[in-house]
Structures are given as structure tokens and as C-alpha cells.
Amino acid sequence: NINEIKSIQIPLPPLPEQKAIATVLDKIRQAIEQTEEVIKETKELKKSLMKHLFTYGVVPFDEIDKVKLKETEIGLISEHWEVKKLGELSIVKGGKRLPKGHKFAEEITKYPYLRVSDFRNGKVKRENLKYLTEEDAEILKNYRIFEGEIYISIAGTIGLSGIIPKELNGAYLTENAAKIIIDKIHELNSLYLVYVFNSHIGKFQIESNVSKTSQPKLALSKLKQFQIPIPPIDEQKQIAEILSKVDQKIEAEENKKQALEQLFKTLLNNLMTGKIRLDKNFIKKFEEK
């Protein structure tokens, strides 16, 4: 009620110190906004770069008129590229759900289980991983995914993809994802394929092939039919390397933003409660002459 609100104690440092605190926090807020702008611009750059690279290849923007293009089922691509079905170049397998009535282990075990919710920004986030019991690990032993293999979500949020790192070698895979094992490595680069899935070419095929039901799903049979643009293997590696550097920039800026937000939160709490006091000489600058 109103009396309770009136009784709330609000810390009130001297006015010069209030101004100094506001200035410090405002500087951090501005830095957060600037970082958000850099992230937004870099993501836009990546989008246009992907469109360029998956159409013309590794060619400077001012030389695209020299590149001969051809029309394909997946749109215009460089004339010297091929188009092949994913199933011609790789083995595609689905994951498996927990047996009915079974639950995840209550503690960390040797058997991590990867869900679609663990897939983020081309990586598997490990903060909220679930683990299997030894009994369920034995039941699901044929649904593991290994280092270097590609995962892609096929239900829920469809199209999230990446490459399994060494630390998760042999993890167990949800039925809402598929694993892709490239068996023609001289024709198709793993990281390049992940970027194809994230490009306009991949997204169009995902949207075209997802079942229009209450629970949208991408059938494995449809995934195997995906048309993949195939430049020479060295050019695939170049495309993947260029886009990987852009992703590294985005990740660095997102980490910076997260650190600034944490700093703002900590300072806000500590400065307002008096746990931390600003330098007296700095506060003096805000005293009215």
C-alpha cells in the first residue's frame, strides 16, 4: 500500500556524487548501444557477403561483371560450379528420443545428450546440457554424433547447424536433429556446408521442404535431396574462412556487450548502495563552482 511505498529507504548521496554516478553509468550505457550497433552492422555485412559469395564466389565486388553465371534450381551461381544433392556427398542420419517414461540423469555423467535448445550461433552451448544414465546410453548407443560431424535441427527451430567439437565427441543426439557425415571430403568441406545451410540457398530449401503441420518438421528424405552448390574445394575453404572471420567478429562484439551489461549491473548495485564509492577528485568535478 501507499504507506509501505513511503517507508522505502532510497539511498541519497550528495548531489555532486549523484551526478558523478549518473555520468559513469551513462558512459557504460552508451558503450553498450555502440556495441549493439556494431553487431547489427556486422550481421548485415555477413548477410550481403553470403549472398555475394554463394552467387559469384571469392571475387571482389567490383569484378562481378566478369563472372559468368548460370541459372539452377537454387538460383544463379557461378558457371564453373556444380550442383549436387546432399545425399550424393554424405550420409544423413537422425537422432533418437529418450525411451518413453525414462528421465535424464540427475547428475553429470559421461553421456551428454544434445537437444535443439543447446544449438546457438553455430555452436553447442554447454551450460544447460542434459546427460543420460548408463542404462539409457546403452539403449541409444547407435544415435551418437562424433567430432567433425555436422548437426542440423530438423524440428522446432529448424536449420540450426554446426560442427561437433572434440569435447563432445560421442555425444547422443536428439530425434529433433540429424547428423551429416561427409564421405566425399575431396568434394565438400564441412564448414562450407554449414554456411550453405545458413545462406539464402539453404534457408529457401528449408522453408520449401518443412512440413506444414502443428509441429513443423524437416524429413530426413527431404534433407538428403537438398541441392548444394559445389565450387572447387579450395574455393569452398576460402568462402568458409571469410565467413568464419566475420562470425568471430560478431562473437567478440557480443561477448563485449555481455561484459558491459554485467559491469553496468554490478556498478549500479554497488554505487547505489555505497559498497563502492567513486574517486573524490572525480566527484569534485561535479561540484558547482
pLDDT in tens, 200-230: 999 999 999 998 777 889 999 999 999 999 9
Q: How far is CA 207 from the centre of its chain?
A: 19
Q: Among 86-90, 117-121, 279-283, where is mean pLDDT lowest?
A: 279-283
Residue 14 has pLDDT above 80, yes or no: no
Residue 288 has pLDDT above 70, yes or no: no
Rounded CA-CA distance 287/197 in Å is 59
Q: Going from the N-terminus, what domains does the chain have, and what CATH number goes with each? A: 11-81+231-289 (1.10.287.1120), 85-228 (3.90.220.20)
Q: Which three cell numbers stand for residue 267?
A: 556498478
Q: What is the DSSP letter of 155?
A: B
Rounded CA-CA distance 231/233 in Å is 6
Rounded CA-CA distance 81/129 in Å is 40
State the pLDDT at residue 281: 78
Q: For the chain, how many helices (H) and strands (E)?
A: 9, 14
pLDDT digits (tens, 9 = 90+) for 165-189: 999 999 999 999 999 999 988 999 9
